[in-house]
Homo-oligomer: A and B are copies of this chain.
């Protein structure tokens, strides 16, 4: 294995000098910098992240904390994009990432969780899909020992950033598009689980729209469940002329229910997953670029790791219409 020592010897400089070049330290002459880089290239040297992590306080590892919903694979699609986006960006930024599932820490105490992350050399964590019920995770955020980025939750402080789209606006936009296209007046809104932070935000969006357009709004808690969306649609869609859902998975449940009931109502969802194309009817939905969101979360974590303060990062969303022809490959 070619190490920093080999590079130093070959370039005729000290190990520490090589390290400085590698880490873009300021106090290095252009000449030596150039020479070292040449040798690095020539020897095909790649810094050992394990050693770097052990030695440095900055160069920590990063954990992706992912929630697994075994039964629904809508989340698989999203999680896969989260992981992919993060891993690729991490490679670009020379960060070392490990994937952790909430199920692995769910019956640990705060101290155990901390010890676990410490033992893995973790200094930064990206939390996807935090809910108000995740007590331990909230404590983890508050304890201040780790730099944390929460995706789709509003936490922001010195060590914590939040990344996500503007859910209120996105919900407003997609619903407005849908009701305008179909001239709807009475909306059945299937909200997400009340523990989720995005639920309230999206609700705010639909409420604003209903207010502005003087629409009749019926809100029901669909809990992000396809089955529940199906049941609620069967019960309440007759008296409404449109079903707005806080997630694609609920939109699918609603649409399949409508098909079974043999009545038509425009349905719109939220997320932009490919599964939408398999339902047989086109639907409007909000498309989030999960790969980009996750990549941005890694960048943000990198910022935090280098000492900067937490902040809120808003990502953009787009409105799309998904049908089978679009997704088949």
Q: Measuring CB to CB, which residues of chain A are less than 8 angstroms from any residue of chain B? A: 1-2, 44-51, 53-54, 61, 68, 71-73, 76-77, 79-81, 83-84, 87-88, 91, 96-101, 103-104, 111-112, 115-116, 118-121, 225-227, 230, 252-253, 256, 273-275, 278-280, 324, 327-329
Given the known A-B contacts A44-B111, A44-B115, A83-B99, are A120 and B49 also in contact in the complex, defined by CB atoms under 8 Å? yes
**From B50, B79, B81, contact of A61 by CB (8 A):** B50
Assess the A274–B73 pair: CB atoms within 8 A.
Answer: yes
Q: How far is the CA of A118 from the CA of B91 in the complex (A)?
A: 15
Residue of B nearest to A92 (CB): B104
Q: How far is the CA of A253 from the CA of B324 in the complex (A)?
A: 10
Please determine whether B46 and A54 come into contact, CB atoms closer than 8 angstroms. Answer: no
A2, A73, A88, A274 pick with most chain B CB within 10 angstroms: A73
Given A76-B80, A87-B104, A275-B275; 5 other pairs, CB 8 A cutoff: A68-B80, A80-B80, A96-B98, A225-B329, A253-B328
User: B residues within 8 A CB of A51?
Assistant: 54
Contact present for A45 and B115 (CB under 8 Å): yes
Report the separation of the CA atoms of residues A3 and B278 in the bound assembly, to the nearest whole angstrom: 53
Which of A48, A80, A116, A278 lies at the interface centre, i.e. has the most chain B CB atoms within 10 A of its CB? A80
Q: Main SS of chain A's interface residues? A: helix
Smallest CB–CB gap between A101 and chain B, Å?
Answer: 6
Q: Is the CB of A120 within 8 A of B83?
A: no
Q: Whose C-beta in chain B lies nearest to the C-beta of A109?
A: B44
CB-CB < 8 A to A44: which residues of B?
A: 111-112, 115
Complex CA distance for A242 and B91, rounded to whole angstroms: 47
In the complex, how many angstroms separate the beta carbon of A52 from the nearest chain B beta carbon? 9
Distance to closest chain B CB from A6 (angstroms):
12
Taking a contact as CB atoms under 8 Å apart, the answer to whether A87 and B100 are in contact is yes
Known contacts A275-B278, A278-B279, A49 near B97 by CB under 8 Å: no
Among B48, B115, B278, the residue within 8 A (CB) of A278 is B278
User: Whose C-beta in chain B lies nearest to the C-beta of A274?
Assistant: B73
29 contacts across the A-B interface (CB closer than 8 A): A44-B115, A46-B115, A46-B119, A48-B120, A49-B119, A49-B120, A50-B50, A50-B61, A50-B121, A51-B54, A71-B274, A71-B329, A72-B274, A73-B275, A76-B76, A76-B80, A79-B80, A83-B83, A83-B99, A84-B101, A88-B104, A96-B98, A225-B329, A227-B329, A230-B328, A256-B324, A275-B275, A278-B278, A278-B279
CA distance A162 to B45 in the complex (A): 31
Interface residue from B81, B99, B103, B120 paired with A99 (Cβ < 8 Å): B99
Given A1-B118, A88-B104, A278-B279, residue A329 in contact with residue B72 (CB < 8 A): yes
Once the chains bind, are B98 and A98 in contact (CB under 8 Å)? Answer: yes
